[in-house]
Chains A and B, each alone.
Chain A
Amino acid sequence: MKATREGYIEGLLEAGERDTRVVVVDGDVSRSTGTIAFKDRFPDRFFNLGIAEQNMAEYSAGLALAGFIPFYSTYAVFAAGRAWDQIRTSICNMNLNVRIGGAHGGTSVGPDGATHQALEDIAITRVLPNMTVLVPADANQTRQAVLASLDIDGPVYIRYGRNQVAELYNREESVVPGRGRLLRDGKNASIVAVGAMVSIALDAAGMLSKKGIEVSVVDMVSIKPLDIQLLQYLSDVTELIVTAEDHQIAGGLFGAVSEYMSENCPGRIIPVGINDRFGCSGTPDQVMKHCGLTAEAIVGKVEKAVKIR
């Protein structure tokens, strides 16, 4: 078990070694998110602008105009939410090479409660033209997402989490924009998951298998661009897709998958996610259970839908 934020920092340090254009802009959370390690290694390329997210996004836009590759990071709820107009009008409209690290994504910041749980960040970043949205599932994949972002033209949002999640990938498995990962192949239904829900989806697939239901599991690490080839494959093999995300159902992974499928593929799509509510305090596991983000919830939805047919 390892937190994806650890992978983000590993990736950031490597990116900093690889490319001197990489700079980090922080909003007074460097001890919490771990970017202080970048400050220690590259003090001349680290700027802590205090609790001022709009200014962070603006400075990052300006640094990108000067030819740098700024990574700005703070809690996802502020990184994407507070600075959204700056992201839209300055960073995306100019198609600038700014990388936004959305830390503490989803319910992973558990005890802090609703104010600090980013449950809308995927929706509000993926709606923006020119933006790439990556939601890695484990620490190694987060490291790779950071490194992959160096080669992306235009802005990138990377969402990662605070709490420990299962390790799914080896260190060298790369992240490619527009590519998801087929982790398990089954003919009765498909689960498309992101972030912390990927390992939970794998647990659900194991439980379903014991009941004689074989499901595919996809890690849709690249929410934008979406892996439409993989969705087409799933649609060819199964008629049911269950999406699983630590995020509002509206506008997130379910939204992205539904938008593509409704236009291009037959079949049914059922969401597992936060259903139009705010989070609350509790351990991340408790909050996830409270909000219905569990393997059992996925199993229940798959079983019910498969039985109906």
Chain B
Amino acid sequence: MISSKVVREDILRMIHTAGSGHPGGSLSLVEILIYLYWKEMKIDPENPDWEDRDRLVLSKGHGAPALYSVLARRGYFSVDKLDSLRKLGSGLEGHPHMQSLPGLDCSTGSLGQGLGIAAGLALGLAMKKSPARVFCILGDGELQEGSIWESAMSIPALKQKNIIVVVDRNHVQLDDAVNKIMPVEPLAYKWRAFGWAVAECDGHDPADIERAFSTKANKPLVIIAETVKGKGISFMEDQAQWHGRVPDKEQLKKALGELK
């Protein structure tokens, strides 16, 4: 299993080199993605199109740098490639484009669409009697999109079992704190009211993440992972301005020095 430090270093370097990207919401995702790709998902990096593999739909597609780092570190493509984030022809598109890079199960980036796609994919896999499961990661700001709640309504109604949703609850969106822009609370209550089983965890604690994923329920499961936007970097943590800001040379040096 890769260390979260390595993935955070990748993210910071990638965005610095690219000159654009989303550090805050990438850094909040790290432990969740590491857990999924090293412990939870049945995958084969040598065979990325394996029909019965578990799938990931990163609905908050702006977290792409975190996903690219994890995919590279897991062996889907060369780690050297990470330097080419957002460069023409590199395949590391600003938001994930599945035809451009091995290991991507879905193109995402327009917030609000991933949950329904994950649900359709899970439905199709179940119809084919595949053992594969679909994991879908949502941002908490993304929950302001109405289409999310269309899908939140239909997944329990269709009694879908092979889909697990994670909310990266980092409390901050582009403009400001989620609670200041448009509150999504009471979050667990909302999901329960839509027919979901809810597990909550510390989204930066691997053991707690694992505990949440092991929740047994006869309803579809959503895991609300409490995270910190910009996690690990003192001057980025909880700062809306680091949603889409690029660390300069000095800031990069300082940030890398802070990582444990």
Contacts and interface: CB of A to CB of B under 8 A. Distances in A.
Given A65-B121, A94-B107, A55 B150 contact: yes
Contacts of B124: 62-68
Interface stretch (B151-159, B165-173, B197-205, B211-219): B151-159
A209 interface: no
B99 interface: yes
A243 interface: no
A55 B116 contact: yes
Given A52-B153, A59-B123, A89 B110 contact: yes
B120 interface: yes
Nearest to B116: A58
B134 to A, nearest CB: 8
A93 B61 CA distance: 14
Nearest to B132: A66
Contacts of A168: none
A55 B158 CA distance: 13
A66 B128 contact: yes
Interface string A32-68: 0000000000001101011010110111111111111
B97 to A, nearest CB: 7
Given A60-B120, A61-B120, A62-B117, A54 B150 contact: yes
B27 interface: no
B50 to A, nearest CB: 13
Given A65-B105, A66-B128, A47 B123 contact: yes
A59 B109 contact: no
B241 interface: no
Interface centre among A50, A58, A68 (most CB of B within 10 A): A58
A49 B99 contact: no
Contact of A94 (B99, B112, B125, B153): B99
A59 B176 CA distance: 31
A95 interface: yes
A63 B121 contact: yes
Q: Which 9 A-B pairs have the closest CB atoms?
A: A62-B120, A58-B116, A66-B124, A59-B120, A62-B121, A55-B150, A52-B150, A54-B147, A89-B110
10 contacts: A58-B119, A59-B120, A61-B116, A63-B121, A64-B120, A65-B120, A66-B128, A67-B128, A68-B127, A93-B107
